[in-house]
Amino acid sequence: MDAVVRACAVYLGLLLLFRLTGKRTLSQVTTFDFVILLILGEATAQAMLGEDFSVVQAMVVITTLLVISRVFDYLSWKFEWFERMTESVPVVLVDNGKPVAKTLRRYRLAEHDILTAGRENHGIERMDQIKWAVMEVSGGISVIPYAVADS
């Protein structure tokens, strides 16, 4: 039973941490971030398994995590407020060529991040060529140029 409680606590703790650090944490992984994720994975395993590293204990933890995930999926499907609390939603970063400064600050983005996405996908050079830019649930930036939006 100890493994189930540990798995639940670690799952909820990590969910909270990743929600607080934002979408960008999950979308733009540098070498440093990757190393941190590996260390987090090892620390998480130790926290959930405790002193017992047996296959049975590992299966109990894995099963617990899968059950928690399914319960969260169901609650997100059933209750919109729960979905908003646990899932990300797309966010408008540029509206009719104008950066939404408050949103950029909140997600720690600079205009060059949006222009980079515009250049990579549409050959955009200036902000005024962008009708909308949206940070997707995945943390990636989608850019809709004026030419595409108006057609």
Note whether 111 and 60 are same-domain residues.
Answer: no
Task: Give pLDDT, residue 130.
Answer: 95
Task: Give pLDDT, residue 78.
Answer: 93
Task: Give pLDDT, residue 60.
Answer: 82
Task: Give pLDDT, residue 72.
Answer: 86
Note whether 60 and 104 are same-domain residues.
Answer: no
Sheet of 141-145: strand order equals 98-99, 91-95, 130-135, 141-145
Q: Give 41-81 pLDDT, tens digit per residue.
A: 777 777 777 777 777 777 888 888 888 888 988 998 899 88
Note whether 111 and 46 are same-domain residues.
Answer: no
Task: Give pLDDT, residue 143.
Answer: 95
Nearest residue to 48 via CA among 65, 66, 26, 69: 65
What is the C-alpha to C-alpha distance for residues 151 and 148, in angstroms, rounded to an integer? 5
Residues ≥6 apart with Cβ < 8 Å to 136: 90, 142
Note whether 78 and 59 are same-domain residues.
Answer: yes
The residue range of the domain holding 76 is 2-86
Mean pLDDT, the chain, rounded, equals 82
Note whether 44 and 101 are same-domain residues.
Answer: no
Q: What is the pTM of this model?
A: 0.58
Note whether 101 and 57 are same-domain residues.
Answer: no
Q: How far is CA 60 from CA 9, 44, 76, 92, in A?
A: 14, 15, 24, 41
Q: Which of 42, 68, 86 is the last residue of a domain?
A: 86
Q: How many domains does the chain contain in total?
A: 2
What is the C-alpha to C-alpha distance for residues 145 and 136, in angstroms, rounded to an integer? 16
What is the C-alpha to C-alpha distance for residues 145 and 115, in angstroms, rounded to an integer? 11
Nearest residue to 98 via CA among 123, 127, 75, 74: 127
Note whether 36 and 98 are same-domain residues.
Answer: no
Residues ≥6 apart with Cβ < 8 Å to 16: none
Q: Which of 65, 86, 107 is the last residue of a domain?
A: 86
Note whether 124 and 141 are same-domain residues.
Answer: yes
Note whether 72 and 125 are same-domain residues.
Answer: no
Note whether 68 and 100 are same-domain residues.
Answer: no
- DSSP letters of 129-148? GEEEEEE-TTS-EEEEEHHH
Q: Which of 66, 86, 106 is the last residue of a domain?
A: 86
For the chain, which residues score pLDDT lower than 70? Answer: 21-36, 38-39, 148-151
- Read off φ and ψ for residue 132, nearest 5 degrees: -140, 150
